[in-house]
């Protein structure tokens, strides 16, 4: 009976896992393996797959020769400099506010999360209208207080600022909810002991909240970093990579090379270079987290 029970459990596990594993194999693992092969060819997407010509490392060499590649990487790091510190600080402050016992706090938490579940396409279209330099609502409101708003999406500097602000607006709900869960996991005993010792609110924040919240902060930083390297939807819809490449990103270039210029081999090489950049960055972050993340409670 015991052997039959183990066998039935094993059979049930296989039956239920097989469809998911087949989907994983068909739609993720096989395409990834195929992209590795394609990255070493000159396949142009329009010709039959049997007409691929093996060209070795030429696509990868071209990635590092093109000025556009360096521009896209620089733009991503500029975005990171503005986005990552802001999302962590503002998300933490918002989480602290949402953690307070105020009336209707559950409604506020739900409202903050609404932009997260909204489609990036819809969000980008709405914000493109709001940030219109001539007739946008943002510049109209600025004009009411005597400020002349910039031409947001047509200016080299302000276009990236606009992308950062819109991304912050959409992502801050997700970050704040994650950090809120981390805050609620901190025992009140620490704060009670600190109050008995006469600790100030600022001291409790830096000596209790931040260290106890550091594992959650590390998770938020890692996820935000990876998402930043994959910046695409808002760029394509709001600025189309412009003006003059000021908001062009790696994923946006992969999309153009693959589906507009039909250079599938080159686009595949770009994708794997991006993967290596993300892998190297997250590994460096993994090493640094040992210095500031506190796991003992």
With 70 as the cut, is the pLDDT of residue 105 above it? yes
Taking the C-alpha atoms of residue 172 and residue 167, their distance in angstroms, rounded to an integer, is: 8
pLDDT at 292: 80
pLDDT at 193: 87
Give pLDDT tens digits for 218-258.
999 999 999 999 999 999 999 999 888 899 999 999 999 99
Q: 293 or 229, which is more confident?
A: 229
pLDDT at 135: 86
Give pLDDT tens digits for 166-202.
999 999 999 999 999 999 888 888 888 888 888 888 8
With 70 as the cut, is the pLDDT of residue 5 above it? no
Enter the tokens of residue 74.
């620089």
Quote the mean pLDDT of the chain: 89
- φ/ψ of 54, rounded to 5, equals -75, 125
With 80 as the cut, is the pLDDT of residue 159 above it? yes
Enter the tokens of residue 11.
């059979």
Q: 198 or 125, which is more confident?
A: 125
Beta bridge partners of 54: 41
CB 159 within 8 A of CB 243: yes
Taking the C-alpha atoms of residue 174 and residue 168, their distance in angstroms, rounded to an integer, is: 10
User: Which domains, from first to last, does the chain contain?
Assistant: 57-292 (1.10.3720.10)
Taking the C-alpha atoms of residue 164 and residue 115, their distance in angstroms, rounded to an integer, is: 15
- Rounded mean pLDDT, 258-280: 93
Taking the C-alpha atoms of residue 231 and residue 76, their distance in angstroms, rounded to an integer, is: 8
pTM: 0.88
Identify the band that residue 164 occupies on the pLDDT scale cut at 50, 70 and 90. very high
pLDDT at 206: 84
pLDDT at 296: 65
Give pLDDT tens digits for 47-65.
776 778 899 899 999 999 9
């Amino acid at each position: 009976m015991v052997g039959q029970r183990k066998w039935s459990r094993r059979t049930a596990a296989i039956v239920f896992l097989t469809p998911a594993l087949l989907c994983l194999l068909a739609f993720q693992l096989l395409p990834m393996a195929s992209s590795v092969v394609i990255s070493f060819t000159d396949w142009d997407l329009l010709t039959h797959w049997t007409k691929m010509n093996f060209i070795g490392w030429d696509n990868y060499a071209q990635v590092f020769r093109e000025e556009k590649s360096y521009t896209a990487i620089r733009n991503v790091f500029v975005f990171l400099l503005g986005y990552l510190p802001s999302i962590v600080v503002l998300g933490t402050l918002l989480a602290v506010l949402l953690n307070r016992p105020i009336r209707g706090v559950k409604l506020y938490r739900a409202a903050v999360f609404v932009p997260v579940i909204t489609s990036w396409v819809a969000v980008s279209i709405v914000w493109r209208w709001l940030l219109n330099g001539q007739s946008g609502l943002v510049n109209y409101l600025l004009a009411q207080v005597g400020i002349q708003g910039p031409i947001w999406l047509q200016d080299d500097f302000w276009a990236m600022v606009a992308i950062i602000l819109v991304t912050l607006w959409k992502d801050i709900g997700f970050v704040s909810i994650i950090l809120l869960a981390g805050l609620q996991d901190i025992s009140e005993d620490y704060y009670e002991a600190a109050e008995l010792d006469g600790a100030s609110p600022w001291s409790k924040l830096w000596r209790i909240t931040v260290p106890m919240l550091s594992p959650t902060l590390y998770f938020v930083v890692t996820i935000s970093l990876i998402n930043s390297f994959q910046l695409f939807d808002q760029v394509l819809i709001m600025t189309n990579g412009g003006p003059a490449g000021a908001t062009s990103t790696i994923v946006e270039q992969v999309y153009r090379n693959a589906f507009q210029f039909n250079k599938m081999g080159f686009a595949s090489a770009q994708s794997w270079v991006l993967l290596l950049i993300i892998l190297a960055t997250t590994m460096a972050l993994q090493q640094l987290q040992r210095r500031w993340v506190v796991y003992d409670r």
